[in-house]
Amino acid sequence: MKHSLRLILSRTLVGLVCLIAVSPTQAQVQPSLNFSGQVGLIDIPSGEQMPDGYLTLDRSKFGPILRNSLRFQLTPRLSGVFRYIGIHNWGDQVCAGPGSHPLCDGFDIYYDRNFDISYQILTESRYLPALTVGLQDFVGTGLSSAEYFAATKNFGPLKVTAGIGFGRLGSYGSLGQPFGRRQKVDIGSGGNVNYKQWFRGDAAPFGGIEYHINDKLTFKAEYSSDAYTQEAKRRGTFERKSPMNYGLEYQPNSALRFGAYYMYGSEFGLNMTLLLNPDQRSTGGIGGRGPEPVLVRPARASAPDEWTTDWTEIDDIHGILLDNLASNLDGTDIVVESLGFTATKAQVRFRNKTYDAAAQAVGRVARAMTQSLPASVELFEIVPVDHGIAGAKVVIRRVDMEALEFAEDAGHALRIRSEIVDAGPALPGTARNPALYPNFNWSLLPYSRTVLFNPANPLEIGVGLRFAAQYELSPGLILSGSLTHIVFSTIKQRDCTTCEMRHVRSDATKYDINTPALETLTASWYTQLAPNLFGRVTVGYLERMFGGISTEVLWRPVARPWALGAEVNYVAQRNTDGGFGFDEYDYHVATGHVSGYYDFGGGYHIQVDAGRYLAGDVGATLALTREFENGWRIGAFATKTNVSAKTFGEGSFDKGITLQIPFNWLTGKPTRTSRTVTIHPLQRDGGARLEVTDRLYDVLRSYDQTRMDAQWGRVWK
């Protein structure tokens, strides 16, 4: 009977594939996610991908299995998923009764971390389906490991999916075993790429349909090839009676989707998906004060007196022009650092405290210069300054500002007439803003720390306040510090008894529970050493766990998409009480890296750091990032060092995901403030790098020609 059923199902799926291949395309149904956070139906994947750049957060539960997923569409065809699973009743049956069962591992709830990747081989066309190949849990314990090919075709409101799976997607209804497979579930370790078993072992078909009832309601039905061998057969966490799943999904708007399901003949399931498009602001745009108009000079013939250069001989002309410029920039939070000029050229160095796009700040300064400077000044040199160092120089002709303000495609027209070059030295006779230094500012803001993916408790959080202060003595010389005080916390101190390396990060909870705490207290010096060459020295309590000295140099040609840097540090591990001492660990280490950066354009960026880490291990970190024009950054990183996977411990090597979310994306108001979140599946001591704030590349990144070109459309805003 089972053989007949499998034969009927396999023939049905083959027929569906044939139907998909020969039928014309009609209006497509929006892709949706399955219970694993992949594009799919209910518990099986499909051949589709989400729109480029989409970020989705998905939470699903059926029976004892809870999944939380983060998915990102890296390119139009390539996507990645990070998933965190909690399986209840894990040891109820195997640990019950007398004796020791081989599957009894001590977990009441088993938590597992997965990484998936998928690539769309074919996009849907008139006669061909969308076809995707995927690797599920390809870096992990193996519990969720699977590989698949999935094809999807739209027929008006009906969408049909068929595919073939391996691993756990080949565990029910197998059509055969073309290759051998070692399906090892290594509970509590994982982290290695299990490439030796990809597309091996039992292969089984899966498939389903999705019917778009109306704009908001969708019906789904599927045949799943996942037997849930560990969860259902071996451990009995739930009873899998059928391979069929059914569900209804409701999408009230473009950002939310809800679903309810009946699964595997025995369980009810729920799903919620949040869909975000980082490339589109949630508020539709950024408000704030509009730009001042360009002030057009009168014709030389009609007003020759206004074009005279005698103004250069006026006493205190620097102060007068500085005041005029500052007055015209009032309300923008753009601060004039210095002004230098000749009769026909003026150079303004400024600090941008408001606009996330350097090009927009440059445009505001250029407009103010047309209103503030005498008519004979034709050439504008506009130099953004950060941490006292000039990142680049934008050279704009005044006549172009006057002629192009209302021209068609004004941004592009101005860019091809302008230059972005190395800042170089200031003009002779440049006068600094006398009111700018020394400068003191402070803030008192909410503060939080999170501890994620601890096997005993997947989410611990502490919230409180952070007091931060900064005192700028002169350009590039900065004293700064921060204090934190936890008001409420669920974080518990833990000792990592299985950690074999020096505890440079695994004792983090010991620092988390002490409050108040001195987080940082540093003196920093930033300077430009030579054309395109920059330097930094930072001394003091560099981060909450280490203090010492950090030195850095960066070679960054402003008109090139690459940069090279080197960093050398000598640090000691701080006491856990959040005070000034270093005697608790008595650990000193020299650490440093050589770094390479490359901007591929289109928002894709790579960084490679090679060197010695805090625990004394030697290796390299690869980080891939996608940056959006509005300030969003989404990336992933991985570090491999000379430490073995066994010595490193659970996870085998350091890896994670980074998200940078600009506040203006949420508020719609101009601000450079953003929040960076690093998601470590499990942070151990291997591959741990010193956490120094405001490294040179981060400070100067906004003023690369590549970055300014990407945002140049905002120069007139």
Q: Read off the pLDDT of residues 235-267 as tens digits, 9 standing for 90 and up.
A: 999 999 999 999 999 999 989 999 999 999 999
Coil vs helix vs strand at 318: helix
- pLDDT at 17 (0 to 100): 44
Average pLDDT over residues 198-224: 95
Domains in the chain and their CATH numbers?
Answer: 2-276 (2.40.160.40), 304-436 (3.30.300), 439-474+476-707 (2.40.160)
Q: In the prediction, which pLDDT does 36 show?
A: 95
* Contact criterion met (CB below 8 Å) for 373 and 317: no
Tell me which DSSP letter residue 33 carries.
B
Would you list the DSSP string of 259-275? EEEEETTTEEEEEEEEE
Cα 259 to Cα 261: distance, rounded to the nearest angstrom: 7
Mean per-residue pLDDT for 596-602?
93
| E strand or H helix at 72 | strand 65-73
Q: Give the 3-state secondary structure of residue 345.
A: strand
Q: How many helices (H) and strands (E) does the chain have?
A: 10, 33
CA atoms within 13 A on the CB side of 351: 18
Residues 51-61: what's their mean pLDDT?
Answer: 95
Question: Can you tell me the mean pLDDT for 499-521?
Answer: 92
Nearest alpha-carbon partner for 651 in 659, 661, 641: 641
Residue 30 has pLDDT above 80, yes or no: no
Long-range contacts of 100-103 (CB under 8 A, 24+ apart): 103/234, 103/235
At what angle are helices 317-328 and 358-372 packed, to 10 degrees? 130
DSSP, res 51: P
CA distance 688 to 508: 12
Retrieve residue 583's tokens: 């005697």
pLDDT of res. 279 = 83
CA–CA separation, 366 vs 344, rounded Å? Answer: 15
The predicted structure's pLDDT at residue 310: 93
Threshold 0.75, pTM exceeds: yes
Whole-number Å distance between alpha carbons of 247 and 159: 14
CB 104 within 8 A of CB 91: yes
Q: Which residue has the tokens 């300054």?
A: 385
Residue ranges with strand state E in 192-255: 201-212, 217-223, 244-250
Residue 253 CA to residue 275 CA, distance in Å, equals 10
Q: Is residue 158 scored above 70 in pLDDT? A: yes
pLDDT of the residue at 188 = 47
Continuous H helices in 530-622: none
Phi first, then psi: what are they for 707, rounded to 5°?
A: -70, -40
DSSP 305-366: GGG-SGGGGSTTHHHHHHHHHHHHTTTTTEEEEEEEE-SSEEEEEEEESS-SSHHHHHHHHH
Indicate the average pLDDT of the chain.
90
In this predicted structure, the answer to whether residue 386 has a pLDDT above a threshold of 90 is yes
Lowest mean pLDDT among 78-92, 285-299, 552-566, 682-696: 285-299
Which residue, among 410, 308, 335, 326, has the nearest Cα to 369 in the 3D structure? 326
Query: What pLDDT score was predicted for residue 12?
Result: 45
Q: 225 by DSSP, 3-state: which?
A: coil
